[in-house]
Copies of this chain bind each other. A is one copy, B any other.
Amino acid sequence: MSERITVELGERSYPIVIGRGLVGGEFDLTQHLAGGDCLVVTNQTVAPLYLESLRRNLEGASIQSVSLEDGEAFKTLSAVETILDTLVESRANRDTSVVALGGGVVGDIAGFAAACYMRGVAFIQVPTTLLAQVDSSVGGKTGVNHPKGKNLIGAFHQPRIVLIDTDTLETLPDRELKAGLAEVIKYGAIADIEFFDWLEENIESLLSKEPGALAHAIKRSCELKAQVVAEDERESGRRAILNFGHTFGHAIEYCLGYGEWLHGEAVAAGMLMAGELSGIAEQQLARLRDLTERAGLPTRPPALGAAKLLDAMSLDKKALNKKLRFVLLRDLGDAYVTSDYSETGLQTICDAGS
């Protein structure tokens, strides 16, 4: 049994299929390949767990695989080159498909390689972390980090299908599950107060990986992301609200060194910082803080000092005309993008590291 959401992007529309046992064969992925061959990109943590299972699913196709080193530190142009080399070596043609099996890092790298190989070949996402399932696998953003900044090199390249097998979360470490919940909470905070209510009631079920609760949280998150992406594929406007907490979060990740805090952890602290900068009622801010805390996530930045954080933010790509832009909240459940904020407030918030 599986559920299906469509990301509406005209001729680039694609389905997100959510369910149990999908990688192992409950869903036939072969029919979604562009041609008879594919390259599965995964990493050294995920490969021993799910690569064989995916290979069986794809039986009949000619399958190559590349296993990258695990971690944000390896999200580099050099990893993309490894994939491109494999595609060239196997003489892959325009009708090949690149399949990403893993978390957000694998999806971002593999997607960018698919975007660049022969100026774009088919791409399929099989996300195996909660973060990738609710966020990075949907919407077509691909890319890698530059030594001086996150996601500075990349492309928009939509997948043909996103296959979300919730069973893969069984092997996901708790810390990563929690990091994924940061993005789930984000959707409630920026666009759906009812979903936020539901999360307040069900956060313990999610933490204990209750399948029904996970499936609902993933589905609702994907629906909300799909709506926003359909309105503004290339982030010329509204799509930027998905970056709630991210300008702060990226700066935290950059200053600490990628991998010290997980992306979701940095975003969690960033959401609280953005919430505070929004000047919403203290009662609403408290709800956001409580839920984040119950999810086992940080609610304050590390003690880095304002100067370092602000400098890192000015390189963040969401900055426009050198003037910082933030996603702020009108109310809990209602976000907007602005460059109209209190400079002294920002300073105070960045200095409040613990």
Q: Is the CB of B119 within 8 A of A88?
A: no
**1/0 per position for A287-322, CB-CB distance to B under 8 A?**
000000000000000000000000000110101111
| Cross-chain contact B88 with A81 (CB below 8 angstroms) | no
Report B-chain residues with C-beta under 8 Å of the C-beta of A152.
84, 88, 117-118
Closest Cβ of chain B: how far from A25's Cβ, in Å?
A: 27
Taking a contact as CB atoms under 8 Å apart, the answer to whether A119 and B143 are in contact is yes
Q: Which residues of B contact A35 (CB under 8 A)?
A: 321
Question: Which residues in B have their C-beta under 8 angstroms from that of A224?
Answer: none
Q: Is A75 an interface residue (CB 8 A)?
A: no
Query: Are A119 and B141 in contact, with the CB atoms below 8 A?
Result: yes
Assembly CA distance A84 to B85 (angstroms): 21
Query: CB within 8 Å of B: which of A85-115?
Result: 85, 88-89, 91, 93-95, 115
Q: Which residues of B contact A24 (CB under 8 A)?
A: none
Could you tell me the distance between the alpha carbons of A94 and B84 in the complex, rounded to whole angstroms? 27
Shortest Cβ distance from A79 into chain B, in angstroms?
13
CA distance in complex: A164, B143 (Å): 33
Give the complex CA separation of A84 and B147 in angstroms: 11
Q: How far is the CA of A81 from the CA of B84 in the complex (A)?
A: 16
- Inter-chain CA distance A115–B119, complex, in Å, is 11
Chain A positions within 8 Å of B, measured between CB atoms, are 35-36, 77, 81, 84-85, 88-89, 91, 93-95, 115-120, 141, 143, 146, 148-149, 152-156, 234, 314-315, 317, 319-322
Question: Which chain B residues border A77 with CB–CB below 8 Å?
Answer: 77, 81
A104 to chain B, nearest CB (A): 16
Give complex CA distance A59, B93 in Å: 45
Of B36, B115, B148, which one neighbours A155 at CB under 8 angstroms?
Answer: B115
A153 touches B115 (CB 8 A): no
Contact B117 A155 (CB under 8 A): no
| B155–A120 touching, CB < 8 Å | yes
Q: Are B118 and A317 in contact (CB under 8 A)?
A: yes
Distance of A327 from chain B, by nearest CB (Å): 16
Name the residue of chain B whose CB is nearest to the CB of A36.
Answer: B321
The reply to whether A95 and B321 contact each other, CB–CB distance below 8 Å, is yes
The answer to whether A320 and B88 have CB atoms under 8 Å apart is: no
- CA separation between A116 and B154, bound complex, in Å? 5
Asked if B320 contacts A93 (CB within 8 A), the reply is yes
Contact between B154 and A322 (Cβ–Cβ < 8 Å)?
Answer: no
Question: A314, B153: Cβ atoms under 8 Å?
Answer: no
